[in-house]
Chain A
Amino acid sequence: MKRLSRLRRHRAAGPVLLIFALFTIGTTFQVASAVNSETTVLADRSAAIEEGKQLFLKGCSSCHGLNAEGVEIAPSLIGVGAASVDFQVGTGRMPMADMSQQAMRKEPVYTPEQVNALAMYVASLAPGPEVPTDEMLNYERDGSVAEGGELFRTNCAMCHNFAGQGGALTQGKYAPTVMGVLPKHIYEAMITGPQSMPVFSDKTITPEEKLSMIKWIKSVEAEPQLGGAALGRVGPVTEGLLVWTLGIGLLIGCAVWLATKAR
């Protein structure tokens, strides 16, 4: 008993209790909310569309209009297809938080099931590009890395840079990096042309060619440093910065050491 009362008066008792309380509340909430979302059933397609509609009305209609017809600040979503929604909401770009420049990739707000519901709802409004199936995305089997590189350099590098690191557009817009993007999102971006990005139709870049591009992007992503630290893979700017900081810094440091009288 004495020990317990002594521990109770320990300096660390307060913080430990606090952490314990936070942990308990946090996990309880997680479990509880997980239980909640687990009750969402997706067996029925029309149920999904209905759920999507509810999600849309709650989270999207304030900008995109009650019938997705678009208002001044947000375009119409009629005809954009499930693929657009899967891309925009699945990469976290939508709902758009910072309205300044362009939609940024961030942590998705909705779960994959909710994204699917939203997509099905928007697709139900008018025909549009569909979400590619896994069979359509087998880039390992159907794509060619070398051809993908050629296609990427001709169609994508001028915005996204030779290694897919992203690049500047006008007025503060930018083409984001394509590293760390799911293959289906890459595919969807190409067929839907989100925001500033143009559309790459299946007739001008065939589905097989798109898979080749995805395969090349994934190979560059997985490519380890072949010559040393990559310095961002943006070219001579960072290389010049390195010589003017580390390079000349080391050399002048050694020069000063050389000319300093020894003790």
Chain B
Amino acid sequence: MSNEIELIKDPGLPTHVHRRADTDPKAALRAERQVAILFALSALGTLILIYSYIFIKDDVFIFIPIMGDTNLHQLGIGMGMAIALFCIGAGLIHWAKTLMPDEEVIAQRHEFKSEDEDRAEFVDTVKAGAADAGLGRRPLIKTTLGAALGLSALTPVLLLRDLGPLPGDDLKKTNWKKGTRLVTDPGDRPIRPEDLEVGAVAQTLPEFPAGKVRHLDDVAKDAVLLIRLRPEEFNLDAERLSWTHEGIIAFSKICSHMGCAVALYEQQTKHLLCPCHQSTFDVTRAAKVIFGPAARPLPQLNISVDEEGYLVAAAPFTEPVGPSFWGRLK
């Protein structure tokens, strides 16, 4: 008769079901013993840890199924620690579950919101305080305070200036100059064209004069990959073709995407793959990007030979190597 829809009611907390340990003293004793065993196991774990740490040498290996030959010292201290810790936890939890009271307790939530009069009093207090401070009445203080704080915020920024030098055109220069010999990495040996067979690659760096130390900063820009193909396999314009020598072509090894070393050369497809994000470059077309997120081909180094027949750079790179940056083309 009434339009009222009656909802299903809350039956309240279900009647408590007692655990075995609550009613049966033997079950309680059993639970207690189980907890004790767990704690004892933990102690055993610590003993294993101590024994392994002191007495097992770190060159002893034993065979464990699935894992293979395993270092016993490492396994002993590790498993000892794991057992020691885990069993304390298991003991505590089992104790709480079986023996500590598990009757559910109800607590009431309180309203977070303050009473209206408390809120009003709060607002009044703040207003009175602000009035006492007098900022509103004294614009000169407010302005100069703002200027003082604002200016002083610049100090920490300024103090960080010497974190590093300005880049200048450092990112656009490498150690490759006209006449710089290509040397093997590692080994620092100069290379002749006849040292490379067709299908061969070589990891190279620029030769450093005696006394000058090569740092990783230099490697990060100078690394060059040499690849030898048959000259007829190139698909280059005349200028880029003149940068090769007898089928040998040189590219910067630093990926134009994000700077990983690109040296995965697939001899049959003549593709270079960067393992970081799978950018793929076609060597026959001056490292043109044919797959992946790289947006630019790898810079090509103009190479030829010097009077003694060693491979040298005929000119520095004509563009910055490595990942892009804002002022790259300026």
- Chain B 65-102 per-residue mask, 1 if CB under 8 angstroms from chain A, else 0: 01111110011001000000000010001000110001
Alpha-carbon separation in the docked complex, A48 to B263 (Å): 40
The secondary-structure label for the interface of chain A is loop
Contact at B195–A204, with CB atoms within 8 Å?
A: yes
Contact at B102–A193, with CB atoms within 8 Å?
A: no
Query: How many whole Å from B75's CB to the nearest CB in chain A?
Result: 7
Contact at B268–A195, with CB atoms within 8 Å?
A: yes
Which residues of A are found within 8 Å of B197, using beta-carbon distances? 199, 201
Contact at A228–B75, with CB atoms within 8 Å?
A: yes
Contact at A263–B266, with CB atoms within 8 Å?
A: no
Interface band, chain A: 35 or more
Interface residues of B in 1-51 (CB under 8 A from A): 17, 19-21, 31
Which residues of B are found within 8 Å of A78, using beta-carbon distances? none
The one of A159, A193, A206, A228 that contacts B264, using a Cβ cutoff of 8 Å: A159
Which residues of B are found within 8 Å of A169, using beta-carbon distances? 264, 266, 273
| A198 close to chain B: CB less than 8 A | yes
Which residue of chain B has the shortest Cβ distance to A75 in the bound complex? B268
The one of B17, B67, B199, B291 that contacts A228, using a Cβ cutoff of 8 Å: B67
Contact at B192–A203, with CB atoms within 8 Å?
A: yes
Contact at A201–B264, with CB atoms within 8 Å?
A: no
Contact at A198–B227, with CB atoms within 8 Å?
A: yes
Which residues of B are found within 8 Å of A51, using beta-carbon distances? none
- Chain B 252-292 per-residue mask, 1 if CB under 8 angstroms from chain A, else 0: 00000000010111111101010100101000000000010
Which residue of chain A has the shortest Cβ distance to B261 in the bound complex? A158
Which residues of A are found within 8 Å of B269, using beta-carbon distances? 170-171, 196
Interface residues of B in 189-232 (CB under 8 A from A): 191-192, 194-203, 227
| A261 close to chain B: CB less than 8 A | yes
Listed residue (A198, A205, A225, A254) with the most chain B CB atoms within 10 angstroms of its CB: A198
| B139 close to chain A: CB less than 8 A | no
Which residues of A are found within 8 Å of B184, using beta-carbon distances? 204-205
Interface residues of A in 206-242 (CB under 8 A from B): 206, 209, 224-230
Query: How many whole Å from A179's CB to the nearest CB in chain B?
Result: 13
Contact at B195–A170, with CB atoms within 8 Å?
A: no
| B164 close to chain A: CB less than 8 A | no
Alpha-carbon separation in the docked complex, A195 to B31 (Å): 67
| B129 close to chain A: CB less than 8 A | no
Which residues of B are found within 8 Å of A225, using beta-carbon distances? 61, 67-71
Which residues of B are found within 8 Å of A173, using beta-carbon distances? 266
| A197 close to chain B: CB less than 8 A | yes
Alpha-carbon separation in the docked complex, A171 to B186 (Å): 31
CB-CB under 8 A for A196 and B74, given A201-B196, A225-B68: no
Interface residues of A in 133-188 (CB under 8 A from B): 147, 150-151, 154-155, 158-159, 167, 169-171, 173, 175
CB-CB under 8 A for A158 and B70, given A169-B273, A204-B191: no
The one of A150, A197, A254, A263 that contacts B186, using a Cβ cutoff of 8 Å: A150
| B167 close to chain A: CB less than 8 A | no
Query: How many whole Å from B241's CB to the nearest CB in chain A?
Result: 21
Contact at A167–B271, with CB atoms within 8 Å?
A: no
Contact at A224–B102, with CB atoms within 8 Å?
A: no
Query: How many whole Å from B45's CB to the nearest CB in chain A?
Result: 17
CB-CB under 8 A for A229 and B66, given A196-B267, A262-B19: yes
Alpha-carbon separation in the docked complex, A200 to B203 (Å): 10
Query: How many whole Å from B52's CB to the nearest CB in chain A?
Result: 14
| A73 close to chain B: CB less than 8 A | no
Contact at A198–B199, with CB atoms within 8 Å?
A: yes
| B156 close to chain A: CB less than 8 A | no
Q: What 6 pairs across the A-B complex have the smallest Cβ distances? A: A203-B195, A199-B200, A224-B69, A204-B202, A262-B97, A198-B201
Instruction: List 28 contacting pairs A-B, 8 Å CB cutoff, sorted by A.
Output: A147-B186, A170-B266, A170-B273, A171-B269, A193-B200, A195-B267, A197-B267, A198-B200, A198-B267, A199-B198, A201-B202, A203-B191, A204-B184, A204-B191, A204-B202, A224-B61, A224-B68, A225-B67, A225-B68, A225-B69, A227-B74, A228-B74, A228-B78, A229-B66, A229-B67, A257-B93, A261-B19, A261-B97
Which residue numbers of B lie inside 8 Å of A, CB to CB? 17, 19-21, 31, 61, 66-71, 74-75, 78, 89, 93, 97-98, 102, 184-187, 191-192, 194-203, 227, 261, 263-269, 271, 273, 275, 278, 280, 291
Which residue numbers of A lie inside 8 Å of B, CB to CB? 147, 150-151, 154-155, 158-159, 167, 169-171, 173, 175, 193, 195-201, 203-206, 209, 224-230, 254, 257-258, 260-263
Contacts A158-B263, A254-B93 aside, 9 further interface pairs with beta carbons under 8 A come to A193-B200, A195-B268, A196-B267, A197-B267, A203-B194, A225-B71, A229-B68, A260-B97, A261-B17
